[in-house]
Structure 1
């Protein structure tokens, strides 16, 4: 994708991508949303990060806040210690509604939520313009909830930031990792991968399946498939990059929808994980 093509499409498109799932996945009323986020974050308890390490990446779930909000909050509460450093969030998640080949960037310049507008980092997006797996797709982003539901959490904990929204479709882990490498940058950049784990098993089955998936993630082993995680492709891409950069993964929380919503006969798994790097930014080759 050439930069001229990318920005030509962007200039012809709507500037604002409006909130598509406010009122369904999370409250549309700003005061109600702020109260819910404040409660979820206050209830979250995160262990302090290892000494001499900085937060670089998170894996968070993306169901409705009633289901996965408490687990997501465990990851986002962790941002408090870096809220004055993080200025850019690279946000990756799977496509659920519109198939796409590769990694789709939006045509919009702003993503709106009930809490305000989040500017898209156009300079960061332009750094990927020559990668063949990167495409512009307004359709892939228009109704995609996996990325949108992360934005109010980020707005609640970061004073200001830009986002790089990436909707991941049919792509290899290596292709996703290549995009992540282009955007890696320094401590001002946080990478967030949005994914749930297993879907629609019994509570007992889900815990067994998800434990195996989490073992692979914690070993930086990029072998997940889409039965294990809907965001398997962006997770695997992150794991490839994390291995190269020597990131340390940690599980902050695991629950399923039976824990949060009560029905244990057909559950979805949720996990919050963080990845830290040495403060000296050493890269492992």
Structure 2
């Protein structure tokens, strides 16, 4: 892949959270997607996927990404929200960058879509918020593999209310051409048995569209709650696709991180 130009946000965690080699990354993502068993179902309008290193959360993320391959001809825009881990942000930060790069190529940022939310007081522009942020980046190789051409609306979510997130999502909701992806892990560093119990309870709240998830339950609680408010408004149904933790995927069960995959569908939105 050619070197990104200055207005392209380069990959920051390639070689750490996922392979830096384009060939190895492409192979690993395809293997993860092949190893899952996606059940046929309704068209997903939104998903929640985890964002740890692929050896930890890759199989869980793959379970919710694999069914999107059936929608590759219709999805043309991905609205991607994830929590900030390194830079404090008031509100939701859009990038000034015109594209995001991974070893699999460059995804253009949807400047028109970002312009439609620029008037909202909770929306700011900050390349610093995106520069080292992994929560959005790790989703991109999955999206690049299961979808065809698409533009990206990447928003790094900092201090904001669920209602403010929901307002942004409402502006960007669109139709079948728009997929919403929320990046979040679940509980952090609990013993295995307690993590399973805690994450199962969190999953029940998410499936019930109960927008009262806290940051002990999910690091991306703010964007998750915003999606839950929007999903309730649009009468979407939430489905738990996969629920595991790092003790299931990487072995160590003394202190684990929880991962959940969820799909949100309209009652009448069948996949064709």
Match 2:192 to one of 192, 196, 203: 203
Match of 2:124 in 1: 135
Give the counterpart of 2:16 among 19, 24, 28: 24
Distance 1:176 1:280 in 2: 24
Q: What CA distance in whole angstroms lies between the structure 2 residues aligned with 1:188 and 1:175?
A: 23
Q: Which of 37, 48, 55 in structure 2 is aligned with 1:45?
A: 37
Q: Secondary structure at the match of 1:209?
A: helix
**How far apart are the structure 2 equivalents of 1:280 and 1:44?**
23
1:262 to 242, 248, 251: 251
- What's 2:58 paired with? 69
Shift of 1:279: 4.2
Which structure 2 segments of 5+ residues have no match?
none
**TM-score, with length taken from structure 2:** 0.96
Separation in 1, partners of 2:204, 2:216: 15
Q: Which SS does the other structure have where 1:127 is aligned?
A: helix
Does 2:183 match 1:194? yes
Q: May I ask how many residue pairs the two structures share in their alignment? A: 266
2:166: which partner in 1? Answer: 177
Kindly tell me: are residues 70 and 280 of structure 1, through their superposed partners in 2, closer, same or farther at Cα, counting changes over 3 Å? closer
Task: Could you list the structure 1 runs, at least 4 aligned residues long, displaced by more than 3 angstroms after superposition.
Answer: 278-281
Question: d(CA) in 2 for partners of 1:32 and 1:130?
Answer: 42
Counterparts of 2:102 and 2:40 in 1: how far apart (Å)?
Answer: 30
Aligned to 1:163: 152
Aligned to 2:156, what secondary structure does the other structure show? Answer: strand
Q: Distance in 2 between matches of 1:163 and 1:278?
A: 26
Q: Secondary structure at the match of 1:66?
A: helix
Match of 1:6 in 2: none
* Alpha-carbon distance between aligned partners in 2 of 1:136 and 1:216, rounded to the nearest angstrom: 32
